[in-house]
Every structure is written in C-alpha cells, then in structure tokens.
Amino acid sequence: MDVKISTLLNATQRLEGFVYEHTRLCGGGLRIEVEVRAHRQRAARCSQCQCLAPGYDHLEVREWLGIPLWGIDVWLRYAPRRVTCPTHGVIVEHMPWNEGKNTLTVSMMVFLAQWARRLSIKEVGVVFRVGWHRVFQAVDWVVQWGLEHRTLAGLVGVGIDELHWGKGQRNKAYVTLIYQVDKCQRRVLGIVRGHAQKDLRRGLRRLGPEALASVRYVCSDMWKAYLTVIPQWFRGAVHMIDRFHVTQLLNQAVDKVRRTDMAAMKGRPQAKRIKGLRWTILRRFSRVRGRARQALTRMMSTRLATGRAWQLKEAFLHFWSYRSTRCAREFLRAWVSRAKRSRIGPMQKFAATLQRHEPMLLNWIQARDEIMTGAVEGLNNKCRVVTRRAYGYRSFAVLEVMLYHTLGKLPMPELTHRF
Ligand SMILES: [Zn+2]
C-alpha cells in the first residue's frame, strides 16, 4: 500500500475536527503544501472559550510552518472561519494547531523547543532553516505554557542566589534566582533582574503565597538585601547560609592576600613562587597533586601572608564536617579568633562576616540533611553556563526564557508522536 503524506500526518499529528486534504510538492521539491479542511459534521468552536458557535464568515487563507518531513518544509494552509460566540461575539474559530498570530504550528513549536534544550537557539535555527527569531518565539511560547502548567505545591527547600550579568556594579547588572533545592526536585523557580530588596520581593510575589507557605528551609548568600527580605517572607522557615557562598567568600579573601603579596614582591625572585599558584591555593590541599603540591609546599616555606591565609582556609574546611551545632559553634569561635589575630586584613574581614552570621551558619550544620546541599552550587554553575552562552543575548527577556527553558524543568505540551 502506498502511504500518502496525509496518512502520515494523520497518524502523527491528528487535528481534532479537521482533516488533511490535498498535499502537493512544490518549490522544486523544497516545500510540501497541505490543505486543511474543517470536518463536515463538526461545527466550529470559539477560540476563546472553545464552545460550539455558529459560523459567521471566512478569512483569507493563512499558512503555518509544521514539522519538516525528510528535511522538506511542510506548510499547512487553511482559511479560518469566524464564528459568533454568545460570550465573545464575532471571533476567529479555534484551530488546534494554531496559537495566536504565530506562523508555526503548535507541534512545530514544541519540536523546536525540545531541540533548544540541547542546542543553542542559533544552532536550532540553522539546522531546521527557520532562523533565530522563530526558534525563540517557539521557546518563549513553550516556556509561558510551562509556567502556567507547572505545579509549585509542596516546596520544602528554596535557594536564593545571584548572578552577575552585564557590566559594572549597578543593580541591573545582577540577576536574582530562586531555586527549589529539596529532595524531590532541583530546578529554577524564578528569575528577576536586579538584586535589591524589591527585586527579590517581586520574584517571590510571582510564585505566590500558597507556594511559599510550605517552605521550611531557605538557603542564601550573605547579601544584605536577601537577609532582610527572607525572614519577612518565609516566617518560621530555617534560614541558612549556603556552604558554597561561604567558600566563595573565603577564596576571595585568600586570593586578595595572594595578590597583595605579589604586588609587594614585584621584581623579586620570590614573586615567582606565588605567581601562577592562584588556582592551586584555592583548591583543597588533599586534591592538589604532583608539581602543584611541590610549588605549594615551597610557597609555605617563605612565611608569606599568603601561606598563613592558606592555612586558615584549610583549617576552616573542618567546620563543614560537624554534625553537632554545639561543637560547630566552638570550632567556629576558635577559628574566628585565630583569624582575627592573624593581622591579615582580608582574613580578619572574613572572620568578622562569619561572626555576624553565626546563627545562620549553624543552621546549615543543623538542617543540611533536609535540603540538597550541593544543589545551589550546581544550579549556580548551570545558570552561569546558560548566561555565558547567552552573552550574545542583549535582552534580559531572552536570558530569562532560556534559563526557565533549560533549568526550570517546566512541563511541555505533549505531542502524540515522538519526532
Ligand atoms: Zn467564546
């Protein structure tokens, strides 16, 4: 039996209330045109409320780009009817493959969006010859659909994080991210531009009070705006400082010491010892091997401030292994007083920061088993990758859509066939 194109289309993308009629190959074999016709026995439906409504008139033929067949573009052609809906008046009919004024069919949008989780928008546009803009439109639509259909019930752990995006230090150069980091799920829940109090509030408001009500653990960095807003919005939840952010801050302090040492020894042979040690110093000693380890040991013998800062950094690692908050507190206080006596500016500053946030650091020790402790760091890294890939995107809107699409674990409209 010969298989007609309309048979294939019916088998993979059936249209409720409509039939595929004539198909023809044109444009020198580059284009398949498919005429769509309304089912004779079925009345039209209103596009707003989908209730049956009597016909009013016909509009001009419109075209929609569908999923390609053997690399050939497939265009659906149909002249939409207008109906008289008791509620919505004269309005265009419901067409199951259509979405607003979009020139892509719904299944094509889902198809492109699925690929855009694996490839960049640009690459998808090139592979399927539809261009960047159409792929973005498709992803944008699928993301909005996903946001409307996702479920936020039962959130237990939430992480609040920031990313630098753009130039300078102004508020708009940051992005605030809200993650789910509990045992059932890790995903991006919200993205807002800026990292001021009002920005975080805007992001939380969007999730809605019902979604936030079940949250019992909140993880964040030590950014003051977040520390102010979190207790107001998550009453009764345990607020902890994430390990990842503390480590980041400590590493920055150690690196500052190293740079000061380097500047002081400019031109002298010792300068060589710490030059190029940047990443080695920040690693855990147990993970430093071979030549790097030798270089590190040599540096330690020079009695530089960098060496002492490094020792403090290594000693602090122990904090994270505590199970009892009482022991952790003792350790923390001893470490802080040791760092404060070190006479190394950046380390003293870091110690003061820890001291100010002691209760929230101890909350981490107490509640770490309730959340996925590596999740904030993992999501932060993944967001960074998307942001970097999105460096060409000048607009925040594109970044937002791509972050939701790749890391939001949003549901997608289901296609009956896997393409
Ligand atoms: Zn209606």
Q: How far is the CA of 137 from the centre of ligand 1 (A)?
A: 26
Residue 357's pLDDT is what? 94
Residue 231's pLDDT is what? 93
Q: How far is the CA of 82 from the centre of ligand 1 (A)?
A: 11
Residue 179's pLDDT is what? 94
Q: How far is the CA of 43 from the centre of ligand 1 (A)?
A: 14
Q: How far is the CA of 48 from the centre of ligand 1 (A)?
A: 5
Q: How far is the CA of 83 from the centre of ligand 1 (A)?
A: 9
Q: How far is the CA of 55 from the centre of ligand 1 (A)?
A: 12
Q: How many CB atoms lie within 10 A of CB 242?
A: 28
Residue 392's pLDDT is what? 58
Q: How far is the CA of 222 from the centre of ligand 1 (A)?
A: 51
Q: Residue 33: beta bridge partners?
A: 24, 75
Distance between CA 123 and CA 63 in Å, rounded? 24
Residue 393's pLDDT is what? 60
Q: How far is the CA of 208 from the centre of ligand 1 (A)?
A: 29
Q: How far is the CA of 86 from the centre of ligand 1 (A)?
A: 7
Q: How far is the CA of 410 from the centre of ligand 1 (A)?
A: 29
Q: How far is the CA of 52 from the centre of ligand 1 (A)?
A: 8
Residue 214's pLDDT is what? 93
Q: How far is the CA of 300 from the centre of ligand 1 (A)?
A: 77
Q: How far is the CA of 61 from the centre of ligand 1 (A)?
A: 22
Quick one: residue 69, left, alpha or beta (phi over 0 = left, psi -120 to 50 = alpha)?
A: beta
Q: Per residue of the chain (419 residues), give pLDDT as tens.
A: 688 888 888 888 888 889 998 899 988 888 999 999 998 888 899 999 999 998 888 899 999 999 998 889 999 999 999 999 999 999 999 999 999 888 999 999 999 999 999 888 889 999 999 989 999 999 999 999 999 999 999 999 999 999 888 788 888 889 999 999 988 889 999 999 999 999 999 999 999 999 999 999 999 999 999 999 999 999 889 999 989 899 999 999 999 998 888 888 887 777 777 777 778 878 888 888 888 888 888 777 777 888 899 989 999 999 999 999 999 999 999 999 999 999 999 999 999 999 999 999 999 999 888 888 788 888 988 888 887 766 556 688 888 999 999 999 999 988 777 77
Q: How far is the CA of 89 from the centre of ligand 1 (A)?
A: 7
Structure tokens at 232: 């107001």
Q: How far is the CA of 94 from the centre of ligand 1 (A)?
A: 10
Residue 65's pLDDT is what? 95
Nearest one of 365, 320, 382, 364 to 186, comparing CA atoms: 382
Do the beta carbons of residue 403 and residue 117 sit within 8 Å?
no
Q: How far is the CA of 56 from the centre of ligand 1 (A)?
A: 13
Q: How far is the CA of 296 from the centre of ligand 1 (A)?
A: 73
Q: How far is the CA of 270 from the centre of ligand 1 (A)?
A: 80
Structure tokens at 404: 């939701």
pTM to 2 decimals?
0.85
Distance between CA 257 and CA 255 in Å, rounded? 5
